[in-house]
Structure 1
Amino acid sequence: MEKPIEDHLPPYRVRPRFQVVTEDNFGQLEEKVSKALKEEDAPCTGRVNPGYITLYLPTAEQHYWSPQLSITMDEVEEGTLLRGLYGPRPAVWTMFVFFYALLGFSILVIGIIGMANLSLEKSGAILWLVPLLVIAFLSLYLVAFFGQKAGHDQMVTLHQFLEESTGLNIDREHQEEAERIAT
């Protein structure tokens, strides 16, 4: 009995990854994916560059939380090591990194100002902002988590397309073997 696709995908986490080793070389993998992308009923679109593949959904099906799959290929003794990374479009990822950095920097500055005021025996009331900023930080993380859940079905589509186009079985057992080879 074949495992459901959810058993093949990494568990929920920020920017899930996978690794798998195949006997195919770069050219064979690139050709398989290119051929599958050119099919009329292909569920994905993408770009195939030497040693690098990016898969995403057609523009009409994309929403703010739509993922993309970036795949890099490296030669190893056993064949080719594929490393996949599911993530949001670069603009979405950059926005979240910006807000995380802004909140972190704000917590640092407010903490320094508040502690300096306390050491000078002045009011440290500004330190009450720190828990609020931490709550904002955690809220941003939850928004990203629920956004990833909103894009999960599309991530499954990308994963199935990769498995079907390359003939690979990318499940957790194969990922453990690939991690052993990669190290």
Structure 2
Amino acid sequence: MDTKNEIRLRLRFYEDVQENIDTVRQKFENYKINFSEDCSLKTKHNHIWMNIPDSKREYWSPHLHLELEPKDNNETHIRGLFGPDPTLWTFFMFLHFIVAGVFVMFSAIAYSNYVLKIPTTMNLVVMLLMVFVWLLLYFIGKQIRLKGNEQMNELESIFFKILKS
């Protein structure tokens, strides 16, 4: 997967496997029992979460969420989604909502001041600052993804190794 040309912070992929969903799920269950030191696996129904083991995990370590969907009798469609640690992702979303809220609040105040013919310079400066903070958050997210790129490739190779077993 070419991660350098992607704008999105959470990378997605799709894979079709010529086996039924129970066989694919069983492969992951077998891997969880036999090779638990390579990758930690959690399964629930048709969802599988692959994580870097605690010994190698950093704050920027990615995880892989797989969703198994039956396509035909003997075919399974797998949706994969790479993402940061859920706690880190929640924190980033919280910061984005704060920035958006401040931007909307100051834009409303700027509009009111404009209608009342009061100077809006301060409000526009804060709005511009919020755009800058939002761009900064995006580039910090890209840096975190770049740091986790090697571990992302590691999770992907384990995923394909499990499918071939």
TM-score of the two chains, using structure 1 as the length reference: 0.82
Relative contact order higher in (CA < 8 Å, ≥ 6 apart): 1
Range moving further from structure 2, 146-155 or 125-134: 125-134
* Structure 2 residue aligned with 1:64: 59
Query: Are 1:136 and 2:133 an aligned pair?
Result: yes
Alignment of 1:97-112 (within 5 A): 97-112=93-108
The match for 2:118 is 122
TM-score with structure 2 length normalisation? Answer: 0.90
Counterpart contact for 1:10–1:17, Cα < 8 Å: no
Establish whether residue 55 from structure 1 lines up as the match of residue 50 from structure 2. Answer: yes
Equivalent position amino acid for 1:130 in 2? M
Please give the alpha-carbon distance, in whole angstroms, between the structure 2 residues aligned to 1:102 and 1:46.
33
Helix, strand or coil for the counterpart of 2:154? helix
Return the alpha-carbon distance in structure 1 between the equivalents of residues 49 and 5 of structure 2.
21
- Asked whether 1:83 is paired with 2:70, we answer no
Task: Tell me, in whole angstroms, the C-alpha distance in 2 between the residues paired with 1:76 and 1:35.
Answer: 23
1:96 aligns with 2:92: yes
Q: Which residue of 1 aligns with 2:33?
A: 38
Structure 2 unaligned blocks of 5 or more: none
**Identity across aligned pairs (percent)?**
24
Greater mean deviation of Cα atoms: 93-102 or 142-151: 93-102
Q: CA RMSD in A?
A: 1.9
Size of the aligned set, in residue pairs, is: 162
Give the Å deviation of 1:100. Answer: 0.8
Letter in 2 for 1:32: K
> Runs in 1 of length 4+ with deviation above 6 angstroms?
none
Contact 1:110 1:129 in 2 (8 A): yes
Structure 1 unmatched ranges of 5 or more: 1-5, 169-183
Q: Aligned partners of 2:12, 2:26: CA distance in 1, in Å?
A: 23
